[in-house]
Amino acid sequence: MYEEMMTPRPERPRRKNDPAGLRSRVLDAAFCLFQEQGYNATGVQEIAASAGVTGGALHHHFPSKKALGLAVIRERVGAAVEETWLEPVRSAHSARSAIREVFCALAAELDRNGSVRGCPVNNLTLELAFVDPDFRAELRSIFDHWRRTLATKIREEAPADADRLATMVVASYSGAMAIAKVEQQGEPLRQCATELERLL
């Protein structure tokens, strides 16, 4: 009653627009759905519903599904790799320990979570890289950045074959994640981590 008198007319919705927030929510929802179902199996209206956004609003920020997909790769997939891989690698005191930590942390999270959805970069790469050159270019830059950062760290200890070793690390991680996906458990990651340690 008190409050109603305080705001008799100011009952106006007073909802504020938040374009950046809406855009971010769409990106989050799309990233999550692409990760679970894949790009082609996910509809734009499904993304809009999941983000709590109307189709018109989504179309305003992303004129096409492809534009949304490219934005997801650039602004979410890249960030995910940066957070779970590159940052731990840079702050570790050796490439060996970094790799074991990342592999085992991922494996533990997968087992704890109870479901393995796979690596976002690889999921989208195997689905889209061959068909669409634009997606391929975007994904390739992520892989390049990934391997380059890894090679820089490895070079501190094994200057000889740093580039080749970096490729090997990324490859065995991607493949281990694929095997983990069919088995729905993190064990393959731990096995590959053990073998990678012998290599470094």
Partner DNA sequence: ACTAAAACAAACAGGTTGTCCTGTTTTTGT
Partner DNA sequence: ACAAAAACAGGACAACCTGTTTGTTTTAGT
Distance CA 106, CA 192 (A): 12
| Interface positions with a second copy (CB under 8 A) | 36-38, 40-41, 115-118, 122-123, 125-127, 129-131, 136, 139-140, 143, 161, 163-165, 167-168, 170-176, 178-179, 181-184, 188, 191-192, 194-195, 198-199
Distance CA 134, CA 84 (A): 25
Distance CA 172, CA 174 (A): 5
Q: Minimum Å distance from CB 103 to DNA?
A: 34
Query: Does residue 35 interact with DNA by CB under 7 A?
Result: no
Query: Does residue 17 interact with DNA by CB under 7 A?
Result: yes
Query: Does residue 54 interact with DNA by CB under 7 A?
Result: yes
> Please, where are the H alpha helices in the chain?
2-6, 19-37, 44-51, 55-61, 65-72, 78-81, 87-91, 95-113, 120-128, 133-155, 162-183, 187-199
Find the binding residues for DNA in span 62-121 (CB under 7 A): 63-66
- Closer residue to DNA, CB minimum distance, 60 or 148: 60
The site for DNA (CB under 7 A) is made up of 12-13, 15-19, 22-23, 42-46, 53-57, 59-61, 63-66
